A and B are shown apart, each in its own frame.
Chain A
């Protein structure tokens, strides 16, 4: 199985084959990443499509100093942030926001919702983007600090300080929710 840090030179030669390869390896995780920004599956689907088309159009720009994983994540993060700045995200009503979801849960679902890890997942998605993305990349996508720095195009110290603040902010939110999960 091909690992995430495999360079593009090991990829199939045809550009279309490379695209198919990228989608097979990263399609699932890129769409999930997009969702953590948009919190809307329909938008995540549209953005994922744009990400892969963009990647296809820029396959020749790929430089081997970064891994293909960092490269595709960087494209994805930039696309998602473009979306966050748009009217659609900041001003329009979304159909499956967590805000509305919580209103329609059954008692059993409410109970499950209170389970610690689900609750933390929910709180992570409520963090401001700059904190949310470093937590997700570092803990759930298993990026190193250096890889996050490359994907977000910011320096190592900024990543470290955001990660620290993100955890602090998450702890504060968890304490407010009555969790007391300090670990």
Chain B
């Protein structure tokens, strides 16, 4: 093996590419970038000097002005000065008549954090009393007995609103525009059964230009996106009721025995759901544990920063239509799901799976590479 590898240095390089890969153009790009950065640095060094000089001169002028004013005020106190002073004071009450009504809009991170908290706090089967204890009493109640979801009523909350008048401005319809504009950070609905237990939750929030609608209930899980650009694909990701039950069990102990009756496509879907739910422990547990296929440790996985985890929308877009994919086994324990993430893509996508020694199909590290 040693000799073989030593002898094949050139073959390996040729396999990567037989031509030169680092071009003169790239070399120039680096030099331009470096030259540009140097110019910027010079500017950055120049401007603080100018600014500090201007500040110093202004300060001196101000001190001279204050000294002169103070001297004049001591020498003469004329009625005209007092009149001016009264005029100035009169302006204040007028300004106070128009207090700022709105708060700054909440950031996308604050919205994402709130979504995460709500997703984890409110679980199916909780009582109404428990929900109200957690979320408070600022909600609107709707009759839901006509719907097919089995709930008798649902309550709706608006969280992270920038204008306090929106706090209880809640209808059953998704407030797409207000959410897109971040005037309402999160819309949250909870459906209750006739035994006052949580049957489903729906959470609406914005990510980029899209509004995400995530519902979970005993009838499964559904995620839909409403995009501001009408020509983009509608993205919908669902877990069936059976997959939802197994997913919930799996989240509790991360034991692969729950997966034994699932087909590879369903297991891949649980992986996607775990990513969306930011359950990175479950995501790692769904990777293969065949030693030769393990690419990084659990500790390394845990240390991946949140900024590198991608957004829900990125996850949905990448694995769009995975559930309609076809599993193809192409080795004793290798296989992949062939699916069409986008109709506009040049080629179909593949999602690699590895059958572990326990016979259960798991997700390959970097499954779409």
Question: Chain A: residues with CB nearer than 8 A to chain B?
Answer: 16, 19-20, 23-24, 27-28, 30-32, 35-36, 39, 41, 44-45, 48-49, 52-53, 56, 85-87, 89-94, 97, 99-100, 103-104, 117-118, 120-122, 124, 128-130, 135-136, 139-140, 142, 167, 169-173, 176, 181-183
Contact = CB atoms under 8 A, between A and B. Distances in A.
A99 B22 contact: no
Given A32-B13, A32-B16, A120-B5, 7 more contacts: A19-B31, A91-B318, A121-B15, A124-B12, A129-B296, A139-B8, A167-B1
Nearest to A95: B346
Which among A32, A91, A171 has the highest number of chain B CB atoms within 10 Å? A91
Contacts of A121: 8, 11-12, 15-16
A142 B3 CA distance: 13
B26 A27 contact: yes
A53 B32 CA distance: 10
Contacts of A176: 331-332
A52 B16 contact: no
Contacts of B230: none
Contacts of B35: 16
Contact of A140 (B13, B22, B30, B37): B13
Contacts of A24: 27
A29 to B, nearest CB: 8
Given A85-B308, A183-B2, A31 B21 contact: yes
Interface of B: 1-6, 8-9, 11-13, 15-17, 20-22, 26-27, 29-31, 33-35, 37, 275, 292-296, 304-305, 308-310, 314-315, 318, 331-332, 336, 341, 347, 349-350, 352, 365-366, 368-369
A52 B30 contact: yes
9 contacts: A20-B31, A32-B13, A32-B16, A49-B29, A128-B293, A128-B296, A139-B6, A167-B5, A183-B1
Secondary structure dominating the interface of A? helix
Nearest to B22: A27
B366 A90 contact: yes
Contact of B292 (A20, A52, A169): A169
Contact of A53 (B8, B30, B295): B30
Contacts of B365: 128
Nearest to B29: A49
Nearest to A138: B5
Q: Identify the 4 closest CB pairs spanning chains A and B, nearest first.
A: A121-B15, A27-B22, A87-B310, A117-B11
Contact of A93 (B22, B34, B318): B318
Contact of B33 (A53, A89, A122, A182): A53
B347 A120 contact: no
Given A19-B30, A41-B21, A124-B12, A91 B1 contact: no
Contacts of B305: 85
B17 A32 contact: yes
B31 A173 contact: no
Contacts of B349: 93
A117 B6 CA distance: 12
A31 B4 contact: no
A27 B314 CA distance: 33
A23 B11 CA distance: 23
Nearest to B365: A128
A131 B124 CA distance: 45
B18 to A, nearest CB: 12
Given A19-B30, A118-B11, A128-B293, A93 B1 contact: no
Nearest to A26: B22
A35 B4 CA distance: 22
Contacts of B17: 32, 35, 41
Given A53-B34, A128-B293, A167-B1, A89 B309 contact: no
